[in-house]
Structures are given as structure tokens and as C-alpha cells.
Structure 1
Amino acid sequence: MLNNDPLLKHNILETIIDSAYEWIVVVDHEGIVQYMNKTYCEFLGENPREVIGKHVTNVIENTRMHKAVLQGKVEIADLQFIRGNYMIANRIPILHEGKVIGAVGTVIFRDTEQWKKMNSHIKALLHELDFYKKEWHEINGATYTLNDFIGISREAEKIKDRVKNIASGDLSVLIRGESGTGKELLAHSIHQLSERSAKPFIKINCGAVPEHLFESELFGYSEGAFTGAKRGGKPGKFQLADGGTLFLDEIGDLPQNMQIKLLRVLQEKEVEPVGSLNSQKVNVRVIAATNRPLEQLIENNKFREDLFYRINVLQIQIPPLRERKEDIWPLAESFIRSNCRETGKRIVKIDDDVKEAFLQYTWPGNTRELKNFVEAAIQLTQSDQISLDAFPDFLREKLKVHEAQKSLKDYVHETEKKVISSYLKKMDGDIKAVANALGIGKTNLYDKIKKYNI
């Protein structure tokens, strides 16, 4: 039996190692070869039995195996010239009870040409993967995930849990919230977490499509439906989203004549392209979003009540940023990191007065406005820190709406910091010259520079 035959086990292990793609050599603590697999011996022109007991330097030219033993250091992907070719070798010390007792060496690529071929092959595969990923994103359409919804507030956590709970299934979802709160981001997230994630995510802004084009945009048209129609017709958003998700953004702006047609599609699960006599079955989950008070629109006969109940099966309400101020700085820091990656800028510090101003501001534009503020500050700052001075005048005025609450001491410190910063810049950082110009001692100036983090 295999378990009871040590010799058989040894022969099997030796066969596996000898047939391995890598060349393998093992030396003891003195650099004496204890083992070398068959393929390595063949390359070196050595007899597998006679090589045992020789010093590794007498077997492998330019070897560092004996040095790996002495130094006890791991060497990975090292170039080594052997028999007219560069090899790519690894050397790993063997430890026992804290002492180096030997080393094992492997050659992964037997020459640099093999490595170049492998590298080119991998690059070709990566380019092919990138092509298919790009094609997939163009077809799928969903780019955001729930991880992109930044927030640590109780409200943000409840929204994330809500998304996870309703993502599965086919029920319609209505996402409500002010402009800039992240409604589209949540729509993407619901699709990504649903069983439809492998199918298309198609979106349409109901407020951006001209009314006379809306029907053909939603339901498509057949050939010859109207002057200028494409040959063969064109599928609408519902046909493109078949099997997946259709995101109707700003549904409160949907023209009234389209509301009844949309209701019919949602009820019958079929569309009739413009100019066609036949209906087409579609399997689409609808996610709608709005910043408008639909109930009030219903009272004013501007939105159909039956359509409201059809899309409002499941609902998510996103509170404005002013009602979840704990999320302001996590969001701002996320935008800073993202923008720095894109622009190559480096921001290491944000002044406390910026943080205070951000917390005091009401953010009528919500997350979108916060992102614009951050991007403007990073673009305009001349250093690696963001201060209120980095913001454009009109943004700074917005952020300083509570400036009257500052004390006289705050104003003095703020002015002092600006003056010292200005003189340092004007005098190229010459401390002595700045101190003389301001009429203070160098030690006092140093203290103020440290105090104001200049």
C-alpha cells in the first residue's frame, strides 16, 4: 500500500519534482548540493547522481545559492547568466529552529526570451480583458456600487440596509430625494445587487428628452414610422433593457401623454414601437427617481395616481445632506482622494476653518455641490493643504454665511495668519527678513508659524 511504503512515496515525490517545469536545486548550510532535479541536470550537462556532494559553485556558474545560505535572505526574480542565457531565479533559505540549514533555488523562466513571451502573452490577455470589460460596461451601463454611497450616519446606514433588502426581486422602486443626494447611485447599486446584474442597466432622464421624441425613445420605432427613421427601425429603452433594469430618472417630469402609455407597459409587460402593428414582450424592472412632490402633482392633475402606485411599490427616501452632517466629512475626504488620483495633486491637510464652514453650510445642492466645492478648492490651491482662501470668491462667500458668529480673537488670528503667510511668500521664506518687516522677534515668528500651521 502507498501509505506503508516509504520508498514508493519517495519515488513518486522525486518523479513529480523531476517533471516540474521549474529547475530546482537544494544545498546545505555549506553550499553543498543535496538535490538537483533531472531537467536542471540535463541543462547543465551534469549527472543527477554525481552532482550530489559537489559545491554549488562548481555546478552552477554565477550562482548565489551559497550566499543565500550565509545571508539568510530571500531573493526573488533575480537575473542570473548561465550557459549563454539570462535566467530568472528564486533563492529561499531553509530554516530549522531559527537557524539557516540550507537553501532551495528555482528557475521559473529558463531564459529571458521565455519571460518576454510569457509577459507578452499576459499583456495580450489583459488587453483582451480590458476590451471585453469596456464592451460589458457599455452594454450593462451600471457603473456604481453600494460602496460608492459614502456615509456613516444612521440615516446612511439605514439606506444601505434598505437597498440590500429590496435589491432581489422584480418589484418597482421609487427613489426620492433632493437634487444631488445620490438617487442615480442607488439605482445602479440596486441593479448591481440584483439577479439582473448580468443584464443591461438602461437609464433615461425624463426631463431631458423632448416631448415629441419621448415615445420613440422609450418604445422604439419601426422602419418607415416617420420621415428620417432609420432603416430597420430602432429599439427603445424598454427593448434595450429587456431582462435587466430601466432607470427612469426625474419621472416627475414625464409628459402627461406618456404617463398612460408607461402605465400600460408596466401592467401588460409589452411595448408597441411607433409605427408598428405588433407588440413586443419585455421583461424589465423599473427603478424611478424624483426630486418633485408627486403627491402634490397628483392633486394638481399633473401626475397620474395609478402610475404613482405602480412605481411606488418599494420606496427609498434619501435625506438631504444638511440632515445628516456626520456624512459631510467622509464624503469630502472621499472626493479629495478621488480627485487627487485623477489630477495627481497631493493634499495632506484641511484647515479647521474649512471643516467648520462645511459643517455650518446647509448644502442646498447636497452631495453634488460638496463634490464641486472640493474639486474647485483642489484645483485652485497652491499648496498641499486646503484653506478657505483656496475657494473661489463666490464659494467662499457661501461658506462664510455664519462668519458673524466669530469672535474678535478669531478675526485677529485669521488676519495674523494671512499677513505672515503673505510676507513669507513675498520674501521667499526668509525668517529674519519677515521678522524685521513685521517688527517681531524670530522666536516669536517661529511660534506663530507653528501655531497657525503655516
Structure 2
Amino acid sequence: MNNGMEAIPSNWHEQIINLLAERIVVTDREGIILYINQAYCEFLGTTVEEAINRPVQDVIENSRMHIVAKTGKKELASLHPINGSEMIANRYPLIVDGEIVGALGTVMFRSPEEWRMYQTKIQHLVEELKYYKTKVEKELKSKYYFQDLIGSSQSFLIAKKLAERISASNSSVLLIGESGTGKELFAHAIHNNSIRSSLPFVAINCASIPEHLLESELFGYEDGAFTGAKKGGKKGQFEIAHNGTLFLDEIGDMPVTMQSKLLRVLQEKEVQRVGGQRSIPVDVRIIAATHRDLEKMVEEGNFRRDLYYRLNVIKIEIPPLNKRKEDIRLISKSLLKKLERKFFRTGIEISSEVEQRLMEHSWPGNIRELENVLERAINVLDGQTIEIFHLPLYLREGQTSNGAIREAAEEKPVEKISPPILPLKEAVAQVEKEAILNALAKTNGNKQEAARLLEIGKTRFYEKCKLYHIK
């Protein structure tokens, strides 16, 4: 019977062995060298003719080949002192018909330097792998806890306590609230307080992903599913969130066709990648959020009724900032602590006039708007106290909660103290950022409508939001 080796001409064997292992030696059971290749002999400072048929310990300094040929125990990655250095060797017993007939030795590295060079290359790859692994894990971890949800107003505490109570459940949660009220923070806190806390938390904004990409983003795709598809395919967010939590922000902006596919996944607990045939089981807890009136959308036929009931198992309504104004002082303090770390500052306070102005404002952009106002103030702050003139123009002019505008003449401190002059680039950036925030406030956080108001393209608008850290 042809075992494959007979087909190879015998004069090829030497070259094949040399290519497979640069340095190789074979002994019989008594440790007599039956074969040694030229590369090994050059390393040892001898010739094949001189080495053949001699005891291995006479040819190779500190050899253990004769011992392995007797004991039958292999020795892998052994340090082998030779020629005043150390090499890394592998020694294997040769067993034929159940009997030890000899031993095979190979040299992996000729010197510790060669081994260290190899180790350095491998170590570099290991470190790189560790970095990306940590980066991915960090991105999939939820960042906020219930202690990060600041406020003592009755309406806010009701929402917070309900969220804490249901966090241990696996039921779907629907977070209702205006843009900027902290729906994502609630989602993070619920996950962190659940039995899934050590598993992935994956957030996806249904409004910011173009409709034609949303399916492949959620469910993944197979190799060659479409032009430009990544080789080998790609996991979708459902697969990445397996056993963890998937946060679907702005669920009200999801196209109706995608709503049907999402409903199927929630019912069947399995996904099918774009261009794929097999079903992949997934176990995820869904937390959805929206600033839209889903019940009205259901009545108008813009949101699937069956999906609404599937998501609306536990509904938590997060109050807007203008309904919990007593929390503004607490929230501002917390935001300032966060911004101090970002700007490497300490001890920043707000004046009583600023505090009063913050209480008077209607906050259409909610906590997100408040954070942006404070961040803008710190950017132009020279001392430690935020004054009226550090605030954006629309707040300096005193827009109150009912929309009235105070007369500038009443604000003597503003007239007396001129705001600092900024470099033109920074000044333009601030005006751009404020314009974007005002547009988002007017459209209740709808980025597509805000882009239309500002008369810029959707892609450019998203780029600006990313640049100014506007979520």
C-alpha cells in the first residue's frame, strides 16, 4: 500500500528535511548518530562524514539524545548549552511498532539572541492583541451607575427607583424622554445593576445610521453579501451583545421595514446575517429609548403596534430639566466635576447670578444643553468663577422659561465687563457649536431636521456633531 512517501524520489528527502528543519539529528537506541544534516554540522564545526556513526554525546556537547532514546520521554523547548552559548532544542523518541528505536533532535533557535528576537516579535503581537482586546472590552462596558444619575426632585426619583427595581429583570425596557434628558445614562445604569453587568453593553443609535446600512449593522453580513463587504463577513450588534444588553437609542426613527425584521429577531431569538442562510441564536436584553410619542406613531401607522408592545414591557418616563429645576444646582455641580477632569482644572464655581439665570432658562436641550453651556463657559474662563458674560449669548440676553427677553440695559454687569477676545478659529467653532445646539433644541434632538434648518448636508452635520462632542 502506498503511504505517500514512496511517491517522493529518495534524492528529494535530504532537501525536504533541510527545508522542514534547518538543524536535525537522528540517533539509534544506543545514541549512535544515524543521520545529521549539513546545517547542523556547520553549526557544530564538523562535517557529516566525521559525525555519522559516532556516539551523539561525542559530537554534540551536552547532548541528551541518547537519554531520550532510552527513556522514550520527549523534551520540548529545552535549553541546551553548546559552544559557550545556549540554544533551544526539541528531542523526540522514535517509536516503530510500539518499540523505541531511536531519537530525533531539532534545533529551534541557534542562540538566546535568536530566541529573544523571536520572543520580541511575538511579544509585540501579544501586546497589540491585548491592547485591542482591552479597547473592545472597554467600549462594550457600560460606563454609568445609578449613583451617576443626579437629582432629588420627586418626578426624577420615581423614574430612578423604578429603573433600579426592574434592572435585575430580563424584560424589555422603554425609556421615554426628551433629547438630552439622560436616557442613555439610565440604560447604562440598568445594565450595570443587572445580572448581565459583566457581559457586553452595546449601544446603537437608530437615527444616525443610514437606512440601507442599519440591517447589516444590527444583524451582520456574510462574506460577499454586497459590494465592499468585508472579507470573511462581519458580526452584527445583536451577535456582539449576545448574553448582554443591546441599547437601541432613538427607536422611533427606525424605518418600518426594519421594525418588522427587529420584531422577528425579538420573537425568534435568532438573527440571520445579510446574505446568509443560517440562523444564529442570540440572547440579549433590549433597552429602547425615544423622544417621540410612539403611541401616536402607532395610531398613525408609522410604528408597528406589535413591536411597540414587545418593547413597552416596562416603560420609564424621564422628566425634562424644566420639570425638575430644583435639580439644576446639583446637576451643575456634578457636571463641573466631570468637566474639571476634562480640562485639568479644579475648584470651578458658578456665581449666584449665573445660577439664577440657569434656573430661569427653559432648557429645550435638557442636561445635554446644560453641559454644553458649562463647557463653553470653562473654555473662556480665566479665573475660578463662571460669571454671566461667560455664558452663551442667548443666555446672556436672559431668555426666560416663558420665552421673554430681558432688556440688555437692565444687565449693568454685562456692560461693565467685556468678554475676553478669542482666536478667530475658536470663536467660529463656538458659534458653530451653539448654532448646532440651538437647532437640535428646536427640533427636539432630530439631527436630520436640524441639518435642514442649518442648510447643511446630513453627513457634514454628523461630522460637526462628532467634532464638538455633541451626542
* TM-score of Structure 1 vs Structure 2, range by shorter chain: 0.5 to 0.7
Distance 1:418 1:384 in 2: 21
Q: Which position in structure 2 is the counterpart of 1:159?
A: 159
Supply the AA of the counterpart residue of 1:187: A
Supply the AA of the counterpart residue of 1:230: K
Displacement, 1:416?
7.0
Q: Which position in structure 2 is the counterpart of 1:365?
A: 365
Q: Which position in structure 2 is the counterpart of 1:25?
A: none
Distance 2:174 2:285 in 1: 12
Supply the AA of the counterpart residue of 1:393: L
Q: Is the 8 A contact 1:358 1:399 kept in 2?
A: no
Displacement, 1:334?
1.1
Q: Which position in structure 2 is the counterpart of 1:276?
A: 276
State the SS of the aligned residue for 2:152: coil
Q: Is the 8 A contact 2:201 2:246 kept in 1?
A: yes
Distance 1:273 1:398 in 2: 53
State the SS of the aligned residue for 1:257: helix
Displacement, 1:399?
4.3
Displacement, 1:136?
6.3
Q: Which position in structure 2 is the counterpart of 1:263?
A: 263
Q: Which position in structure 1 is the counterpart of 2:217?
A: 217
State the SS of the aligned residue for 2:246: strand
Q: Which position in structure 2 is the counterpart of 1:345?
A: 345
Displacement, 1:346?
4.1
Displacement, 1:160?
1.9
Distance 1:388 1:362 in 2: 17
1:415 to 404, 412, 415: 412
Structure 1 unmatched runs, 5+? 1-126, 423-454
Tell me, yes or no, if structure 1 residue 297 matches structure 2 residue 294. Answer: no
State the SS of the aligned residue for 2:235: coil
Q: Is the 8 A contact 1:137 1:143 kept in 2?
A: no
State the SS of the aligned residue for 2:262: helix
Supply the AA of the counterpart residue of 2:293: P
Structure 2 unmatched runs, 5+? 1-126, 419-471
Relative to structure 1, the CA distance from residue 235 to residue 329 in structure 2 (aligned partners, 3 Å threshold; closer, same or farther) is same
Distance 1:291 1:151 in 2: 20
Deviation string for 1:19-48 (max 9, x for gaps)? Answer: xxxxxxxxxxxxxxxxxxxxxxxxxxxxxx
Supply the AA of the counterpart residue of 1:382: D
Relative to structure 1, the CA distance from residue 417 to residue 138 in structure 2 (aligned partners, 3 Å threshold; closer, same or farther) is closer
Displacement, 1:402?
5.3
Q: Is the 8 A contact 1:187 1:287 kept in 2?
A: yes
Deviation string for 1:127-178 (max 9, x for gaps)? Answer: 99x9699446435231111122111111222222111111112100000000
Displacement, 1:287?
0.5
- TM value normalised by structure 1: 0.59
What aligned pairs does 1:181-192 form with structure 2 within 5 A after superposition?
181-192=181-192
Supply the AA of the counterpart residue of 1:355: E
Deviation string for 1:84-124 (max 9, x for gaps)? Answer: xxxxxxxxxxxxxxxxxxxxxxxxxxxxxxxxxxxxxxxxx
Q: Which position in structure 2 is the counterpart of 1:245?
A: 245
- TM value normalised by structure 2: 0.57
Relative to structure 1, the CA distance from residue 399 to residue 330 in structure 2 (aligned partners, 3 Å threshold; closer, same or farther) is farther
State the SS of the aligned residue for 1:316: strand
Supply the AA of the counterpart residue of 2:236: G
Distance 1:342 1:214 in 2: 33
Distance 1:140 1:417 in 2: 46
Distance 2:393 2:321 in 1: 23
Tell me, yes or no, if structure 1 residue 307 matches structure 2 residue 307. Answer: yes
What aligned pairs does 1:46-445 form with structure 2 within 5 A after superposition?
134-135=134-135, 137-138=137-138, 140-397=140-397, 399=399, 404=406, 411=410, 415=412, 419=416
Deviation string for 1:330-359 (max 9, x for gaps)? Answer: 111111122122213344542222111111
Distance 2:234 2:227 in 1: 13
Relative to structure 1, the CA distance from residue 351 to residue 402 in structure 2 (aligned partners, 3 Å threshold; closer, same or farther) is farther
Q: Is the 8 A contact 1:167 1:190 kept in 2?
A: yes
Taking only the aligned residue pairs, the percentage that are identical comes to: 47
Q: Is the 8 A contact 2:357 2:398 kept in 1?
A: no
Number of equivalent positions: 289
State the SS of the aligned residue for 2:242: coil
Displacement, 1:194?
0.6
Q: Is the 8 A contact 1:199 1:244 kept in 2?
A: yes
Deviation string for 1:223-246 (max 9, x for gaps)? Answer: 121222222211111111100011
Supply the AA of the counterpart residue of 1:286: I
Supply the AA of the counterpart residue of 1:180: G
Q: Which position in structure 1 is the counterpart of 2:30?
A: none
Supply the AA of the counterpart residue of 1:310: R
State the SS of the aligned residue for 1:287: strand
Supply the AA of the counterpart residue of 1:303: F
Which stretch has the larger CA shift, 225-234 or 130-139? 130-139
State the SS of the aligned residue for 1:286: strand
State the SS of the aligned residue for 2:396: helix
Relative to structure 1, the CA distance from residue 233 to residue 137 in structure 2 (aligned partners, 3 Å threshold; closer, same or farther) is closer
Distance 2:178 2:281 in 1: 34
State the SS of the aligned residue for 1:204: strand
Relative to structure 1, the CA distance from residue 132 to residue 330 in structure 2 (aligned partners, 3 Å threshold; closer, same or farther) is farther
Which stretch has the larger CA shift, 140-149 or 259-268? 140-149
Q: Is the 8 A contact 1:349 1:385 kept in 2?
A: yes
Which stretch has the larger CA shift, 317-326 or 347-356? 347-356
The alignment's C-alpha RMSD in Å is 2.6
Supply the AA of the counterpart residue of 1:372: N
State the SS of the aligned residue for 1:188: helix
Supply the AA of the counterpart residue of 1:250: E
Q: Is the 8 A contact 1:182 1:367 kept in 2?
A: yes
State the SS of the aligned residue for 1:247: strand
Q: Is the 8 A contact 1:347 1:386 kept in 2?
A: no
